[in-house]
Amino acid sequence: MKKRKFPLNYWRRLSQIVSFILFLFLFIKTDYSGSDSIDYAVNILFRIDPLLALCAFLAAGTIITLMLPAIVTLVVTFILGRFFCGWLCPMGTLLDGCHRLVPQNNKEYGTNFRPFKYYLLVFLLMGALFGLPVAGYFDPFSILVRGLALSMYPALNSLSTDFFTFTYQQAPGWVNAITEPVYAFLKYSILPFHQKYFDLAIFSFVILLIIILFERMERRFFCRNICPLGGLLAITATKPLLRGHGGSKCDKCKNCRDICRMGAIDEERQISPLDCNLCLDCVDHCPTNKITFRFGKPLGYKPVFSLSRRSFLSAIAAGVTLPFVMKTRVIAKRPDPFLIRPPGALPEDDFLGRCVRCGECMKVCIGNALQPTFLKAGLAGMFSPVLKARLGYCEYNCTLCGQVCPTGAISELEVNKKRIVKIGHAWFDKNRCLPFAKGIPCIVCEEHCPTPDKAIKFRLAEVINSKGEKVTVKQPYVVDKLCIGCGICETKCPVPGQAAIRVTSAGESRNPSNRLPNTGVTIY
């Protein structure tokens, strides 16, 4: 047998490593960089994802230009088959990389879950069309970026901070002479600027972890059986131009079957384009060099989806009916008052329809204000961004979330427009607010209120404080037409625990039915 000096799978590995590094680079660059706009196309991964594009198109009922690069992926798949899954997909690379860490349980050829991804795909597409937009729960990029952004990246920072705080405080000078420059370099290069904190951090991590642990059952379990994007690409790759030809007249050693990470090779050593991700291991491992990938040559057999008609119809039915059940939930009648969406967010149904739960906005939010919600927006709204004003606030001059949103669920606003978009409204709790409740001077909220004509003003009032003394204090109030709901007042309120001023979604620009009470003429 002739050994290639530079086996084909080296090229594939190189491609995987380069694209994974590129992915991490763009992930790290999803941050404020000293300029009001982000220089890199940090959300490109999501914009070349045809699953998310299709779901967003169906939900929005229109073509979203931002998502058009997804066509490239489809074209590439039509030519090369599931090349993307094997050579580029960062989730696939992560699974390949972790594979050795999760030893396989059995050596059986394949599981029987393979059609599941098609049922899931159909369900997601139907759901997107009829009002249950949950593609982001299963999309590999969404899962990956959420896992990194919401848990692993903040955890990495926390770990580094703890370590270097320990060395800084406890280690002798000569150790610090080494560790401090290292820490400075890490901060400059890969660590985030802020320590961030997220709801659903553990949950997002566990989802990613489970997908990695699935490797125990078989290689690329997620890609073979669950990944709806993989399903969509498989459909596109039914008859790719580049086709793999197995050794039908070979020595039947079945090495190729054993090593195929996608279980794409059957008993007859035929390579199914539905599953093959062109890793090319089989080409390199075939002792008789019988396996080739060629353009044009007919496949010689028809690849089978092995779908059950009943399950397929059930998936359609579920995708169609569930959305209508959703409309009977309480939040369909009265949305959660603390569901504060980022500035530029579309009206709720459009917003959720387009939001692919990628976590980019939460990653980029410099105030750590945007948090993934759990059930506040209903079962279909999990991981969608909400502003939690007690944790962080929307920075007045910042427009980054709209810039990184891959689908326009958060529209990109000019900073002048953004400054007047009302995302919610601040309300005082006079039982807690110090100048009201205790006669203690404060007005930290007024100090931080960012509108040039402050939305929080104050009146002088003579009150009796807790010591029984008569004191004059400044009591704050909110000016309805100036407050934009950025939440800095709630973030900075020095009252411990629950803030004495809270932001709700009341008055948000995107929802006219949520308008504030008005004694003047109501204009529609």
Q: Name the site residues for another protein (rule: CB under 8 A).
A: 32, 34-35, 161, 164-165, 168-170, 193, 366-367, 395-398, 434, 440-444, 446-448, 450-454, 458, 474, 492-494
Which pair of structure tokens corresponds to residue 219? 């290689």
Q: What distance in Å separates the CA atoms of residue 2 and residue 283, rounded to the nearest whole number? A: 12
Beta carbon nearer to another protein, 9 or 491: 491
Instruction: Please report how close the Cβ of residue 367 comes to another protein at its closest, in angstroms.
Output: 6
Residue 408 beta carbon to another protein: minimum distance, rounded to whole angstroms:
25
SS3 335: coil
Select 465 or 511, whichever has its Cβ closest to another protein: 465
Kindly tell me the burial class for residue 309, based on how many C-beta atoms sit within 10 Å of its own C-beta (0-12, 13-18, 19 or more). Answer: exposed
SS3 at position 235 = helix
- What span, in angstroms and rounded, lies between the C-alpha atoms of 497 and 386? 20
How far, in Å, CA of 34 to CA of 214, rounded?
41
Q: How far is the CB of 473 from another protein (least distance, A)?
A: 10
Q: Shortest gap between Cβ of 31 and another protein (angstroms)?
A: 9
Which letter does DSSP use for residue 428 in this model? E
Q: Hey, how many other C-beta atoms are within 10 angstroms of the C-beta on 26?
A: 18
Where does residue 304 fall: left (phi above 0), alpha (psi -120 to 50 degrees), or beta otherwise? beta
**452-483 burial string, b = 16+ CB within 10 Å, else e?**
eebbbbbeeeebebeeeeeeebebbebebebb
Q: Which residues contact 301 (CB under 8 A, 6 or more apart)?
A: 270
Which one, 129 or 434, has the nearer CB to another protein?
434
For residue 41, the minimal CB distance to another protein (Å) is 21
Give the nearer residue to another protein in terms of CB position, either 36 or 349: 36
The CB density around residue 15, as the number of other CB atoms within 10 Å, is 15
Residue 157 vs 236, nearer CB to another protein: 157
Give which of 96, 137, 91 is closest to 230, Cα–Cα: 91
Closest separation in Å from C-beta 273 to another protein = 49
- Contact at 8 Å (CB) between 341 and 386? yes
Tokens 């929005």 label which residue?
Answer: 60
CB nearer another protein, residue 319 or residue 439: 439
Residue (405 or 442) nearer to another protein, CB: 442
CB of 416 to another protein, least distance (A): 12
What is the nearest approach in angstroms of another protein to the Cβ of residue 493?
A: 7
**168 versus 374: smaller Cβ distance to another protein:** 168
